[in-house]
Amino acid sequence: MCGFAGFVGLPELQLAGEATLVRMAAQLAARGPDEAGHWFDAEAGVGLAHRRLAVIELGPEGRQPMIAASGRSVIAYNGEIYNHRALRRELEAAGLSFCGGSDTEVLLAAIEHWGVDAALRRVIGMFAFAWFDRVDRSLVLARDRFGEKPLYFGWQEQTFLFGSELKALRVHPAWKGGVDRRAVALLARYNYIPGNLSIHPGIAKLRPGTWLRLRSSGSGWTTEEGIYWSAAETAREARANGFRGSFEDSVEALDALLTNAIGGSMEADVPLGAFLSGGIDSSVIVALMQNASKRPVQTYTIGFADQAYDESEEARRVAGHLHAEHRSLRLETADILRLIPRLPSLYDEPFADASQLPTALVSGFARQHVTVALSGDGGDELFGGYNRYLWGGRVWKGIRGLPLCLRRGAQALISGVGPAEWDSALHRLPFGARVRHPGEKMHKLAGVLDARDDRELYRRMAGFWHRGVPVVGSGTATEWHPWDDAAWVPGLSFPERMMLADALTYLTDDVLVKVDRAAMGVGLETRAPFLDHRVFEFAWSLPLDFRIRGGETKAVLRHVAYRYLPRNLLDRPKSGFALPLHDYLRGPLRDWAEALLARDRLKDEGYFDPDAVRSSWEQHLSGRFNRQYELWSVLMFQAWLEQLGR
Rounded Cα distance, 245 and 3, in Å: 43
Sign of the CA dihedral with 599 first, then 605, 611, and 613 last: negative
What value does the mean pLDDT take over residues 142-160? 96
Question: What was the pLDDT predicted at 618?
Answer: 96
Determine the 3-state secondary structure of 204 from DSSP. strand
The 10s digit of each residue's pLDDT in 252-302 is 999 999 999 999 999 999 999 999 999 999 999 999 999 999 999 999 999
Rounded Cα distance, 142 and 154, in Å: 14
Rounded Cα distance, 28 and 39, in Å: 16
Please say if the pLDDT value at position 379 is more than 80: yes
Question: What was the pLDDT predicted at 246?
Answer: 97
Question: What was the pLDDT predicted at 646?
Answer: 63
Rounded Cα distance, 424 and 40, in Å: 64
Distance (Å) of CA 514 to CA 13, 191, 345, 460: 35, 11, 13, 22
Rounded Cα distance, 411 and 400, in Å: 14
Name the DSSP letter for residue 11. Answer: G
Question: What was the pLDDT predicted at 16?
Answer: 77
CB 381 within 8 A of CB 499: yes
Q: At 421, which helix (H) or strand (E)?
A: helix 419-426
Rounded Cα distance, 397 and 391, in Å: 10
- The yes-or-no answer to whether 2-228 and 232-384+510-570 have a common fold is no
Determine the 3-state secondary structure of 117 from DSSP. helix
Peptide bond connecting 173 to the previous residue in cis, omega within 30 degrees of 0: no
**CATH architecture of the region 232-384+510-570:** 3-Layer(aba) Sandwich (3.40)
Rounded Cα distance, 41 and 342, in Å: 36
Distance of CA 383 to the CA centre of its chain: 17
Rounded Cα distance, 527 and 146, in Å: 12
Question: What was the pLDDT predicted at 305?
Answer: 73
Fold of the domain built from segment(s) 2-228: Glutamine Phosphoribosylpyrophosphate, subunit 1, domain 1 (3.60.20)
Question: What was the pLDDT predicted at 478?
Answer: 65
Rounded Cα distance, 512 and 400, in Å: 34
The 10s digit of each residue's pLDDT in 293-333 is 999 999 999 987 766 677 788 999 999 999 999 999 998 88
Least confident of 368-372, 387-391, 630-634: 387-391
Please say if the pLDDT value at position 418 is more than 80: no
The amino acid at residue 451 is A
The 10s digit of each residue's pLDDT in 489-531 is 888 999 999 999 999 999 999 999 999 999 999 999 999 999 9
Determine the 3-state secondary structure of 263 from DSSP. helix
Phi and psi torsions of 9, nearest 5°: 180, -175
The 10s digit of each residue's pLDDT in 185-223 is 999 999 999 999 999 999 999 999 999 999 988 777 899
Strand-pair partners of 160: 8, 155
Q: Where are the domains of the chain?
A: 2-228, 232-384+510-570, 580-646
Rounded Cα distance, 526 and 514, in Å: 11
Distance between start and end Cα atoms, the chain: 28
Least confident of 12-21, 177-186, 293-302: 12-21
Size of the chain, expressed as the number of residues it contains: 646
Strand-pair partners of 227: 210
- What is the rounded average pLDDT for all residues in the chain? 92
Please say if the pLDDT value at position 431 is more than 60: no
Please say if the pLDDT value at position 354 is more than 70: yes
* Portion of the chain with pLDDT greater than 90, in percent: 73
Strand-pair partners of 325: 298
- Percentages helix, strand, coil for the chain (3-state, rounded to 5) are 50, 15, 35
pTM assigned to the model:
0.94
* Closest C-alpha to 326, from 287, 300, 350, 302: 300
Determine the 3-state secondary structure of 55 from DSSP. coil
Determine the 3-state secondary structure of 329 from DSSP. strand
Question: What was the pLDDT predicted at 433?
Answer: 52
Question: What was the pLDDT predicted at 311?
Answer: 79
Phi and psi torsions of 209, nearest 5°: 70, 20
Question: What was the pLDDT predicted at 434?
Answer: 55
Question: What was the pLDDT predicted at 573?
Answer: 64
Distance of CA 37 to the CA centre of its chain: 27
Residues 6+ positions from 608 with CB-CB distance below 8 Å: 470, 471, 472, 602, 634, 637
